[in-house]
Amino acid sequence: MLAFTWIAQGRAVDAAALAPRERIEAILLWSALPGASRHHWGTDLDLIDGNADAQGFKDKLSPEAFAAAGPFARLNRWLDAHAARFGFFRPYQGVRSGVRPEPWHFSFAPVAEKARRSLSKQVLRGAVAAAPLLGKEIVLEHLDALHARYVESIDLP
């Protein structure tokens, strides 16, 4: 469990030292199952402040970049105040979701929620079964729990 805790904190671990199920869980902290990527649904996008690039900032997608002292703090405050007015919300705040907090990740609620509700366990099972995926048998064995954690459990507005 120590390795999983390190991964959840964003620290590097030796993937070969993880059991197959732990490896899958580690990957899912940062990446979606085949068919479950909200970006691929066309409903989600990542937002950053392009002006931070001019300041030489390299680490674009980290919670620290959106923190009060981070280069995207001003953008973060604006998004907190205005995103909902335009129909957007953050699905991965680390409250309910199984995914690490992603303050840059926004969903367009009117379309994203319909897509999420349409991604049943059966539809996801078909996408995973058709994908060239290492560890597919483990994913399929635990698909109900993975669907509940990584598809159903998001941070709703």
Helices (H), the chain: 2-8, 20-28, 51-54, 63-66, 73-82, 109-118, 121-130, 136-141, 143-147
d(CA 23, CA 70): 31
How do residues 76-134 score in pLDDT, each as one tens digit? Answer: 999 999 999 999 999 998 888 878 889 999 999 999 999 999 999 999 999 999 999 88
How do residues 97-108 score in pLDDT, each as one tens digit? Answer: 878 889 999 999
Give residue 3's pLDDT: 46
Give residue 14's pLDDT: 76
DSSP state of 16: G
Contact between 137 and 129 under an 8 Å Cβ cutoff? The reply is no
How do residues 5-58 score in pLDDT, each as one tens digit? Answer: 444 556 667 777 888 888 888 888 778 889 999 999 999 999 988 887 656 667
Q: How confident is the model at residue 1 (pLDDT cuts 50, 70, 90)?
A: very low
d(CA 24, CA 8): 13
Q: Which residue has the higher pLDDT, 147 or 52?
A: 147
Give residue 38's pLDDT: 94
Our CA dihedral for 112, 113, 115, 118, rounded to 10 degrees, sits at: 170
